Amino acid sequence: MIGLARTYVRAVDSFNRRLGRIAMYGIFLMMAILMWSSISKVAFNPSLWTLEIAQFAMVAYYMLGGPYAIQEGANVRMDLFYGDWSDRKKAWFDAFTVLFLIFYLGVLLYGALGATAYSFGYWGDSPVSFFFGLITGSEEIGRLERSPTAWRPYIWPIKVTMCIGVFLMLLQAISELLKDIATLKGVKL
């Protein structure tokens, strides 16, 4: 059981670390888009796509960098008492609170799957079966959702990115739970 947990933690941490290090550069992409937006508004006709693409880039930056932030402990934490605790007490507290995070991310993932299914033109109330149906061929993509702006981009790419980000955060939260349990048992993962 320890070997399986160690393999899981190493695989998830390694993948999220690499993806997070790549996602960090998304801030430069967003800055370049916003700079182009500023230049195009001053120098010539403003581009319709810049602000919306900057929003999409920020969502991708935030959602794909989230698992790495969880892994590095870069999330907001009230350190008034926590900083003075022993590693074992911190592990108890983290193991307890990460359960709330796992529940929240599970609900968030279900909602994100529903929103993504809607963006693919699914009007039903079972998004998970819709995605299984897409894989097996029993479902078809309907009318794709578009943004109501003048540029009208498709919405599904950013919603898929959000689903991937939430799923990876869920995997990372489980990894953190396993690390806390291992700390409590005195095992090094």
Question: Which of 105-109, 153-157, 184-188 bottoms out in mean pLDDT, i.e. has the lowest?
Answer: 184-188
Question: Which of 45-49, 98-102, 124-128, 181-185 bottoms out in mean pLDDT, i.e. has the lowest?
Answer: 45-49
pLDDT of residue 149: 87
Mean predicted confidence (pLDDT) in 161-186: 96
pLDDT of residue 150: 86
Sorted by sequence, the CB contacts under 8 Å of residue 160 that are 6+ apart come out as 116
Domain count for the chain, please give it: 1
Question: Which of 74-88, 120-134, 137-151 bottoms out in mean pLDDT, i.e. has the lowest?
Answer: 74-88
Is pTM beyond 0.95? Reply is no
For 187, the token pair is 């095992």
pLDDT of residue 83: 82
Residue 139 banded pLDDT, cuts 50, 70, 90: confident
Average pLDDT, the chain: 92
Question: Which of 78-82, 92-96, 116-120, 160-164 bottoms out in mean pLDDT, i.e. has the lowest?
Answer: 78-82
Domain hosting 75: range is: 2-185
Residue 88 banded pLDDT, cuts 50, 70, 90: very high
pLDDT of residue 123: 86
pLDDT of residue 175: 97
Residues of the chain above pLDDT 90, percent: 68
pLDDT of residue 82: 83
pLDDT of residue 76: 73
CA distance 14 to 174: 14
